[in-house]
Structure 1
Amino acid sequence: MDKKINSIYFSATDTTKKIVSEIAKKISENMDDEITTNNIDFTLPEARKEPVSFTKEDVVIIGVPVYAGRVPNVLLKYLNTIVGNGAFAIPVVVYGNRSYDDALIELKDLLELNGFKVIAGGAFIGEHSFSKILAKNRPDEKDMAIVSDFANRIYTKLTTQDEIQSIAVKGNQPYRKHYMPKDRAGNPTDIRKVTPKTNRNCMDCKLCVKVCPMGSIDERDVSRLNGICIKCGACIKKCPTHAKYYDDVNYLRHKHELEIDCAQRRAPEIFI
């Protein structure tokens, strides 16, 4: 089969990258002939400045994290510059063991509006961006076995169906509102403006500057933000000295609730 396999993803803490890259790798390995592969990581700001387009010869595995049950708002502008031109697409969403709500159907709809034919899709679990214990170390070995099987089934679909069928996925239309945590009184609380703090462990290595997907951390003073914080967890989880942290009461309360209420292991869901 003369197809080009593409992986394209936003992955601040590398969980989405791990899943999307493995799907692309397994499909490519199944191909008997030489197959062209391509990887596009649009996590950092500079990568989102270049429009991307595909053709009918492309198979595109595209992955994003789930934020508040939806595709992250900050990615919608870029995602709408990606042109399918009839390419096959496999949308993948990765969530922190609470729920993916309407993120998968939203990504599927977006891809179809941009000229893709969606032939498979999946919702997988990754360690929650807020926590180091909620879905700890996921995707793990069990998850990756499902990823591998998913890729094999995609390959079979690509090579055995004369007319490759589109798929339906779980979700609501219109989409549900973004999930919002509540305070102690049960009132919705907005944590979007909460930003990380920096403690004395900081050795000014600038790694946080390099990994921030919004380009918001000030290179001259890493304790300052020049833009928004999307709570992706990159600066906290990748800091070698554990110098970044949050101290907002509502944020910490929500984090604790998630760790308690969503502790039971959830399984990936695939659609093909």
Structure 2
Amino acid sequence: MDKKINAVYFSATDTTRKVVEGIAEKIAQDMKAGTEISKFDFTLPHEREKELAFTEEDIVVLGTPVIAGRVPNVLLKYLNFIRGNGALAIAVVVYGNRNYDDALIELKDILELDGFKVIAAGAFIGEHSFSKILAKNRPDEKDMSIVANFGDQIYNKIEIEHKLDAIIVKGNKPYMKYYVPKNEEGIPVDIRRVTPKTNSQCTDCKLCVKVCPMGSINYDDVTKLDGICIKCGACVKKCPTNAKYYDDEDYLRHKVELEIEFADRREPELFV
């Protein structure tokens, strides 16, 4: 088949990127030799200012992380303006081992409204953005083996079976409300305004400024935020001196709760 393969993703800590690129690369391998993959990383703010449009000649593997059980609401404006124009799409969400709730069905719906034909979808697991323990180092070797098999299934569906039927994925309509953590008394707590702190180990290397997907960390004073924090974990996990951290009690309690309650390994779910 003469199709262009595209890997499109938002991936603050590289887990979604790894899954999306892995799927795209396997589809490309199954095609003829020399098939190139176009990569569109819309993690950083300036990349979300660019128009993105495809044609019927494209296969697009598009992935986002799951935040509070849904597609991140900060991405909705950008995602709604991507133009599919009949391109084939694979919807991918990556979550931190709790649950993907309605994120996958929501992403599928968004892509279909954008003019894509969604022929496959998958929910994968990546290390939780809050934690270095929960789903540690995932997607791991086992996950990437499933990613490769998923790529094979997609290729077979398109090229061998010639089936481009719409798929059904798990999820609710209307979508569930965003997941909200609770305190010890079972009362919902709002951690949306919680922001990272900076300790004395900071060397002012500015890496946190460069990796913040919201462009919120002040360049002149990296201890300050000029915008929102989505708790993606990029500044904390990528800091070379471990200078970024959270100290909010509700956030930390929820982090530990997640690490305990959802310690059992969850596996990817595929829809082809």
Instruction: List aligned pairs for 1:85-234, cutoff 5 A.
Output: 85-234=85-234
Q: Structure 1 stretch 216-225 or stretch 24-33: which is displaced more?
A: 24-33
The answer to whether residue 228 in structure 2 is matched with residue 244 in structure 1 is no
d(CA) in 1 for partners of 2:87, 2:208: 36
Residues 157 and 163 in structure 2, CA contact (< 8 A), matched pair in contact too: no
Cα shift at 1:185: 1.4
Cα shift at 1:183: 1.1
Structure 2 residue matching 1:40: 3-state secondary structure = strand
d(CA) in 1 for partners of 2:77, 2:29: 33
Cα shift at 1:50: 0.7
Structure 2: gaps (5+ residues): none
d(CA) in 2 for partners of 1:241, 1:38: 33
d(CA) in 1 for partners of 2:71, 2:161: 30
d(CA) in 2 for partners of 1:265, 1:163: 33
Structure 2 residue matching 1:119: 3-state secondary structure = strand
Cα shift at 1:32: 2.0
Cα shift at 1:163: 4.4
**TM-score, normalised on structure 2?**
0.99
Cα shift at 1:35: 2.6
Cα shift readout 1:204-250 (whole Å, capped 9, x = no counterpart) = 00000000000000000000000000000000000000000000000
Structure 1 partner of 2:71: 71
The AA in structure 2 aligned to 1:250 is: D
Percent same amino acid at aligned positions?
A: 68
Cα shift at 1:33: 5.2
Structure 2 partner of 1:83: 83
**TM-score, normalised on structure 1?**
0.99
Q: Structure 1 stretch 243-252 or stretch 35-44: which is displaced more?
A: 35-44
The AA in structure 2 aligned to 1:162 is: H
Cα shift at 1:166: 1.4
What's the Cα RMSD here? 0.8
Cα shift at 1:88: 0.3
Structure 2 residue matching 1:155: 3-state secondary structure = helix
The AA in structure 1 aligned to 2:211 is: V
The answer to whether residue 258 in structure 2 is matched with residue 258 in structure 1 is yes
Cα shift at 1:165: 1.2
Give the 3 Å change call, closer, same or farther, for CA 202–193 of structure 1 in structure 2. same
Instruction: List aligned pairs for 1:32-43, cutoff 5 A.
Output: 32=32, 34-43=34-43
The number of residue pairs the alignment matches comes to: 272
Instruction: List aligned pairs for 1:46-65, cutoff 5 A.
Output: 46-65=46-65
Structure 2 residue matching 1:38: 3-state secondary structure = strand
d(CA) in 2 for partners of 1:82, 1:65: 17
